Structure 1
């Protein structure tokens, strides 16, 4: 399947049929209003001030913003957000808080506002959000004309940006890095997002269907509802349960196996498969859900190459009846998914309702190579009326101790705010159901901002402000993936260790010396780590080993983020990586350990078994040096 001619980012969202395609040279990242001490004071959001503007987002290198959210009290001073691309001195685009949903291209349903409750007399509150894909070729900076701060009445600085960082021009096979102008043609995408509950993929003339009417599942029984030989792709599943009971949501499980795999690729209760685990109200997003008329739907494309089998299993003690169960599919050449570039549709193991006192609930752990496309989390407390929404979502990718995705509260991950007090709520990318505040159930579709991983992905969520509540979570992750890892650890440099520095021919100019740090990561734990590193105000260099058959190299650095805006130019065998500098704008003077990454495109590394890496400190803002404690070197496969 070939991509459309639109700019990168827009193509990824409007071509829902391309969702199974593996993402190469793409990393997901987050910037937002997280309490630096690890508690719940998430209301201050800025990186630094420049002239009369407060900078809230600042990245270097090609990428794409997929999700922008900010929430505050409507009677507070209204901010104007300014978007600067590719080092421009004047903003490419400006939008006031009140204009989301109406000012092109930030128009409904790609952008909108959620008006929340009175919040104990402080409200009402207003959450503005945008899912407009905004690509950039070189860099992006977002500012506010007022400081986003404080939790008092009339204030509010909560918010986040979800974005992709691209390794280089060959990333993902899409060399089109046109920068956002505001004049892009979003007609197809707006049409898709206006049709929640109906297949967002373009119609296929040769689509076939397997239909079962008056389908009955006896207690403990099962039935195969779809079977195919050879290559193909399931394009849609729709079902109409008989009214009168919602037991099927938890009792009936779907079991899908592609290409004869021993382990089911997807296996979970129908409630989470159709985005309605609680079933108190019908909710749905673009990909899956239950329509107002009770029709269940799942439109994730599910490719296979040797065959497919889908079964329903009734694990309850009551008969389950469906008026109709329909599986639509494409066969043979009509499916056209190249196997080497495509992941299988899969679910993580279903996380049944359980508590994990004092630590994050790990909803899912995925291994191999792929990308997460949706997540579902439900929460129960011991009794009604307890506010249980304050827990942050934290997603760790490929063993990185610093979360690549986080949220200032459970509800913020699905782009709402101030809890879950007004169910049911839904927009094309997220929804929630439940009773006001508790229990609640949320679902998030990552249609553009998928979460790529090359070794593993771990999705966790706090219980309360800092894991200080008793909450039982349940949930599941939807993803596309293959079993094989997509990168391999091929070298490690322990800066400050004479033996390791000698092995790697470590050199430094402008070396300010070593120092020892004991601190924690922003991972929600209180584990302390001690390490010795160096401060460099000139250059450091070292030799590392990689696989000659690499498709690029990823460097991961452990550093001290006591100051923000750390920047260095990266050279490989004397050639500067032109796509970006190594830049991290945020800081944390309390939980000081940071693991950040730099992807080197294959054009600098292919065919080589050893690389001389050189890092040249660039002064930016308050920084006086580049610091480095440990490097991990991964060969992209």
Structure 2
């Protein structure tokens, strides 16, 4: 029997269920730890072999941006460099340091109002596992609650890849001014100027991405083709997409909330058009991207990379070790949000347009130059 419950009845030998949690060791109800400003703590340090099956986290802090200021890292088999490194909220499916509900099969931000962070990606290890939280804020996390549920095994098969996740960010540049999909109809035959969301060395398979885009203008932020260069191949690669919404399994420039176990739109802007913050996601659980030596995965920011956007991503994959060491995580100040575009900003654009059109008091705003 196949499917999520296909083997639930199968009895297994040599496996023990274990948990590491923040429960009050005195038997009281203070079931949390405090993480001081600038402090790093291990929430799990597990010996031997096993598979982490579930992580649950919630926290309380006076820092409203703690989901971007706190960093989660994971280490397998005694490695020096983390296989997972990302801001806490971004990893679990919340961008921009915000709190909002998010639903998918491997990750979720659950009630109350997205405060409960859950991960169901299985994470095998053969010689120890360590999960740390670093508070890079100037303010304490006054209460940090967590579960790390795992299976203890005698050993893990060599064929089990190690779980990885990498956060990246780029304020993209319009490669061919003037900016905008309507003004530029060039032909892009390279991935050189794309937004890069994975650059992996080793054997493995790519299983998902959270994509957070902040658009300073009202026009559609997409039309970006996804491009996958497997094992060092050149353009156009083994997999070449047809547009941002197509890769994320939607269509026709959507701007509505939608939650499927494998893909969806977890946050959409409530402004003019697509102006503001959009969070889309896709998990390739039925159709992973396999590679034997390397994977370079990217997406255009607008057709032919002609849009200025603020893009952050967390990519998720499994691979052999050792992995390519991640670039240094941007410092806290470099992870801050871009300023929000306001109604006054839009009016200023209109004012400048009116001046360019001669300044007549009868100009409505859609006259052609």
Secondary structure class of the residue paired with 1:207? strand
Structure 1 unaligned regions, length at least 5: 1-5, 16-187, 193-199, 486-637
CA contact (8 A) 1:367 1:483 kept: no
Give the conservation status (yes or no) of the 8 Å contact 1:281–1:434.
no
Aligned to 1:458: 296
1:447 maps onto 2:279 in alignment: no
The match for 1:276 is 94
Aligned to 2:305: 467
1:355 is aligned to 2:172: yes
Indicate the larger mover: 449-458 or 476-485.
Answer: 476-485
Of 178, 201, 210, the match for 2:20:
210
Larger RCO (CA under 8 A, 6+ residues apart): 2
1:380 is aligned to 214
Helix, strand or coil for the counterpart of 2:285?
Answer: coil
CA drift of 1:292 comes to: 3.2
Alignment of 1:345-424 (within 5 A): 345-348=163-166, 350-358=167-175, 359-381=193-215, 383-401=216-234, 402-423=236-257
Contact 1:364 1:476 in 2 (8 A): no
> Match for 1:266 among 69, 84, 89?
84
Distance 1:442 1:246 in 2: 22
TM-score between the two structures when normalised by the length of structure 2: 0.71
CA distance in structure 2 between the aligned counterparts of 1:351 and 1:203, rounded to whole angstroms: 41
Contact 1:235–1:302 (8 Å) recurs in 2? yes
Q: Post-superposition shift, 1:203?
A: 10
Shift of the alpha carbon at 1:384? 4.5
The 8 Å contact of residues 239 and 322 in structure 1, kept in 2 or not, is answered as no
The whole-number CA distance in structure 2 between the counterparts of 1:356 and 1:395 is 21
Q: Is the 8 A contact 2:35 2:144 kept in 1?
A: no
Q: Measure, in 1, the Cα distance between the counterparts of 2:33 and 2:286.
A: 36
User: Is 2:162–2:321's contact at 8 Å kept on the other side of the alignment?
Assistant: no
Q: Tell me how far 1:394 sits from its aligned partner.
A: 1.7
Q: Which residue of 2 aligns with 1:619?
A: none
Gaps in structure 2 of 5+ consecutive residues: 23-30, 176-192, 324-369
Q: Report how far residue 360 of structure 1 moved.
A: 0.6
Aligned to 1:429: 262
Q: Is the 8 A contact 1:231 1:304 kept in 2?
A: yes
Alignment of 1:79-158 (within 5 A): none
What's the CA shift for 1:320?
2.4
Q: State TM-score, norm by structure 1.
A: 0.42
Contact 2:20 2:148 in 1 (8 A): yes
> In structure 2, what is the Cα distance between the partners aligned to 1:229 and 1:416?
43
Q: Report SS of the residue matched to 2:73.
A: strand
Q: What SS does the aligned partner of 1:289 have?
A: strand
Q: Match for 2:110 among 291, 299, 310?
A: 291
Q: Deviations over 1:170-213 (max 9, x none)?
A: xxxxxxxxxxxxxxxxxx47xx9xxxxxxx99999831111113
Distance, in Å, in 2 between the alignment partners of 1:431 and 1:280 is 17
Tell which structure's C-alpha radius of gyration is larger.
Answer: 1
Q: 1:313 aligns with which of 134, 137, 141?
A: 134
Give the SS at the match of 1:439. strand
Instruction: Tell whether the 8 Å contact from 2:170 to 2:195 is kept in structure 1 after alignment.
Output: no
Question: Are 2:53 and 1:235 equivalent residues in the alignment?
Answer: yes
How far off its partner does 1:403 sit?
A: 3.0
Matched residues in 1 for 2:77 and 2:251: separation? 42
Q: CA separation of 1:304/1:355 partners in 2, compared to 1, >3 Å: closer, same or farther?
A: same
Residue of structure 2 in register with 1:544 after alignment: none
**What are the Cα deviations for residues 70-98 of structure 1, in whole angstroms up to 9, with x where unaligned?**
xxxxxxxxxxxxxxxxxxxxxxxxxxxxx
In the TM superposition, residue 415 of structure 1 has moved relative to its aligned partner by 1.1
* Residue matched to 1:254: 72
**Matched residue SS, 1:271:** helix
For 1:320 and 1:371, the matched residues in 2 are separated by 35
8 A Cα contact 2:172 2:307, kept in partner: no
Give the secondary structure class of the aligned counterpart of 1:262: coil
State whether structure 2 residue 148 is matched by structure 1 residue 327. Answer: yes
Give 1:391 deviation, angstroms. 1.6
* Structure 1 residue 337: Cα displacement: 3.0
Deviations 1:554-590 (CA, angstroms, capped at 9, x unpaired): xxxxxxxxxxxxxxxxxxxxxxxxxxxxxxxxxxxxx
Q: How far 1:332 sits from its partner (Å)? A: 2.9
